[in-house]
Amino acid sequence: MMSSLLLVRSRSPPSSSKSGQIKNTCLWRRQVATAFTSLYYTTQAWRPLRSENLLSIILNSVHFVLQELRPDDPSRADAEQIQAATRRATALTRQLLTFSRGAEPAAVSLDINGVVRDLAPLLVGTLGEVGHLELDLAVMPCRVKLARDNLEQILVNLAVNARDAMAPGGHLVIRSRHVTDASLERAVQLTVRDDGAGMAAEVAAHAFEPFFTTKPPGQGTGLGLAIAYGIVRKAGGRITLQSSPGEGSTFTIWLPESDSPSQPSLELIDVNPPGGAGELILVVEDDDGVRAVLERLLHELGYRVVASADADQALVLLARHPVDLLLTDVILPRRAGPELARLAQALRPGLRVLFMSGYTAGELARGGLASDDGWLLHKPFNHQELASKVSAALAAPPLAVPAD
Ligand SMILES: Nc1ncnc2c1ncn2[C@@H]1O[C@H](COP(=O)(O)OP(=O)(O)O)[C@@H](O)[C@H]1O
Ligand SMILES: [Mg+2]
C-alpha cells in the first residue's frame, strides 16, 4: 500500500514546483493559512467574553453537586452529563485559547526529554486501557526554545489522536534525537508514532487544517493538529505526517536546537494533591461566581480564606489578617494583580503569591503584567489544579516580584 507523506516546511519555501507533492503542499499551505487567519480573528473577538471564568464556575459547581449526591441518586446521571460536557467545553476552550495565543515566547530553553518524562503519567492516563506508552529518548538533553505549555499541548494532542485511532493493545512511541537537518543546522527531532488505524491520503492531506475532523460530533474539534502545526511553525520548526490505512501514523517534528542551558523541570501536578493545614489565603477575584467557587474549594482543601473583589480592599484585609498566600486574579478593575502583589509584599515581606488568569505568562508579560509561569494558575481550573498550585506556592520560596 502506498504510504501518504505530507511535508510541511515552514522555514524555506519549496524551491521547485515540479513535483506534484510539493504543488499540493503549497496549495494546502495556502488553504491552511487562510483558515488560520480567519480563526485567529474569531478567537480574538471571543476572548473578552471570559468563558474561562464561566467554565471555572460550572466545572467546580457540578463537582460540588456530585460530592453531595449519593451513588444511587436519580439526579446523578444528569450531573455526570453536565460534568462530561463541561470537561469537553473546557478542553475546547483551552485549545481555542492556545490558538488565539499562538506560540508563547520562550525566554529559556527547554529539555524536550524532561518535559516528556514529566508528562508521561498524564499521557499514560490519556491512553487509558487502550494503549501503552513507550519512551525512546536521546541520552543527552534535547534543548529547544519553546514554551513548556506549548510543548505539552502538542504532546497531549498527538496522544489523544493516537488513542482515538488505536485498537486495544496499541502502542504509542515517543522518540527524541539530535539530528543535523538539510541546511546542516543542529536540530532536535521528536517523533510520535502509533500503530493505530492510520489515515487515508485524503484525510492526511487535510489533517492539519483547523476544524478538519473525521470524528463524530462532540468528539473531535479538528483543532489538535492545527495547534501543533501553528506552534511548531512559529517556533521556526516543521512538522510532517506519514500515515496510511492500517499502518499507523507517524508525526515528526524538527525544532532548532538551543545552546542555552535548560530550565529545570517543574513538579508534576499530583492527582491527589496535599490539602492545607489551616493556612490563611487571601483571594482577590472580581468575578463573584469564581470567587465563591474558590472560597468553597479552598475551605474543602483545609485552608482558611478571606476574600475580596478588588485590590484596595484586599490591602485592608492584608493589614488585618496574618495571610500566608495571596491568590489574585491578574486582570482586576483599577489595580492589577501584579501591582497588588508588589504592594502586598512591601506590606508583608516574604508573602507567597499565586496569580490566576485565562491569559498565559507570555501574554501577561507582553501587557506589562509580569508574573512567573510557575506561579500562575490557568483558568479554567478544576479543584486538582487549584490544590496542587496552592500547595506548591505555599511550599516555595517567596516570589520575587519585579520592583517597578
Ligand atoms: N494518530 C492518528 N491516527 C489516525 N488519524 C489521525 C491521527 N491524528 C489525526 N488523525 C486524523 O486527523 C483528523 C484531525 O485531527 P485533529 O486536528 O487532532 O482534530 P480531531 O482530533 O479533533 O479530529 C482527525 O479527525 C483524524 O481523522
Ligand atoms: Mg485531535
Mean pLDDT of 250-275: 70
Rounded Cα–Cα distance for residues 143 and 101 (Å): 23
Q: Considering every ligand atom, which ligand is closest to the CA of 172? A: 1
Q: 199 in ligand 1 pocket by Cβ < 6 Å?
A: yes
| Angle subtended at Cα 119 by Cα 196 and Cα 324, rounded to the nearest 5 degrees | 150
Mean pLDDT of 211-238: 87
Question: Residue 108, exposed/middle/buried by CB under 10 A (0-12, 13-18, 19+)?
Answer: middle
- pLDDT beyond 60 at 404: no
Facing residues of 194 across strands? 172, 249
Rounded Cα–Cα distance for residues 69 and 57 (Å): 19
CATH, domain 4-43+104-256, list 3.40.190.10, 1.10.390.10, 3.30.565.10, 3.30.200.20: 3.30.565.10
pLDDT at 118: 85
213 CA to centre of ligand 1 in angstroms:
6
8 Å CB contact between 204 and 250: no
Mean pLDDT of 319-328: 95
Identify residue 221 by its one-letter amino acid code: T
Stretch among 18-22, 184-188, 381-385 having the lowest mean pLDDT: 18-22
Q: Which of 6, 133, 161 to mutate to test the pocket of ligand 1 (most atoms within 8 A of CB)?
A: 161
Q: 88 in ligand 1 pocket by Cβ < 6 Å?
A: no
Q: Considering every ligand atom, which ligand is closest to the CA of 170? A: 1
Written out in words, the top-level CATH class of the domain with range 280-395 is alpha beta
Stretch among 174-183, 328-337, 366-375 having the lowest mean pLDDT: 366-375
Every domain of the chain with CATH number 3.40.50.2300 lies at: 280-395
Mean pLDDT of 338-365: 84
Closest CA to 314 of 293, 289, 334, 292: 334
- pLDDT beyond 90 at 100: no
Mean pLDDT of 164-181: 94
Q: Which residue has the higher pLDDT, 241 or 119?
A: 241
- pLDDT beyond 70 at 325: yes
| Angle between helix 76-101 and 148-165 (nearest 10) | 130
8 Å CB contact between 114 and 137: no
Q: 203 in ligand 1 pocket by Cβ < 6 Å?
A: yes
Contacts of 145 (CB under 8 A, 6+ apart): 106, 109, 110, 235, 255, 256, 258, 260
Q: Kind and range of the H or E element at 160?
A: helix 148-165
Every domain of the chain with CATH number 3.30.565.10 lies at: 4-43+104-256
pLDDT at 173: 97
Stretch among 94-108, 112-126, 378-392 having the lowest mean pLDDT: 94-108
Q: Which three cell numbers stand for residue 9?
A: 516546511
Q: Considering every ligand atom, which ligand is closest to the CA of 215? A: 1
Mean pLDDT of 106-112: 76
Rounded Cα–Cα distance for residues 8 and 29 (Å): 8
Closest CA to 325 of 354, 296, 300: 354
Q: Which residue has the higher pLDDT, 308 or 350?
A: 308
